[in-house]
Amino acid sequence: LINNFIGQAITTATAEACAVAVKSGLSLRKLHEVISAGAVNSGLFQLMVGKMLDGNGDLTGLKFTLVNAMKDLRYYTHFAESLPVSAIVGEAVHQSLVNANLMGFGDKYVASLIEAQEKLNGVDPESVTRFTLQSRRMLREYYKRRQAVQGENGRQANSSVQRIGKSMNVHSTKR
């Protein structure tokens, strides 16, 4: 059960990451290239994404149906509950599998979690094949806003420290 939980956590995270990548404009080939070169690479990732890219959309790399994966994760979460231990990630993975089954993917193999995530998130994999200028602009704007907020928070924190120091009759001295 524990082995199956870890495996399904990897496949669920992989499917979600694919949907986010495609929706943002990042090609799955580029995602595959980056993941394959790093520590996150795994046999399960290659069976899902690598096989899909090499086989023109082939999602049969993992010969285990989503209905069976859902059942195993239900057993795992019930087992964890009986101990009792927290199983927040296990519950999230289980719900992802429940969603895939409810959307009609239950008789398909685990790699079809990618299809389920695309459907759930309104992703059209055919319409986005590379990191677009619009996505780059959105990311640049996000980071600008984030830096501005961090800068403002830093100024506010510094101002608060100065106010507290004054109220305690603490004066900074320059050396």
Residue 144: is its pLDDT beyond 50?
yes
The C-alpha atoms of residue 121 and residue 24 are separated, in whole angstroms, by: 12
The whole-number average pLDDT for the span 47-69 is 94
Q: Looking at 25-29, 67-71, 91-95, 139-143, which range is the least confident one?
A: 139-143
3-state secondary structure the chain: CHHHHHHHHHHHHHHHHHHHHHHHCCCHHHHHHHHHCCCCCCHHHHHHHHHHHHCCCCCCCCCCEHHHHHHHHHHHHHHHHHCCCCCHHHHHHHHHHHHHHHHHHCCCEHHHHHHHHHHHCCCCCCCCCCCCHHHHHHHHHHHHHHHHHHHHHHHHHHHHHHHHHHHCCCCCCCC
Residue 174: is its pLDDT beyond 60?
no
Task: Determine if residue 108 is left, alpha or beta; phi over 0 gives left, psi from -120 to 50 gives alpha, anything else beta.
Answer: beta
Q: What are phi and psi of 40, to 5 degrees?
A: -75, -15
Residue 45 banded pLDDT, cuts 50, 70, 90 = very high
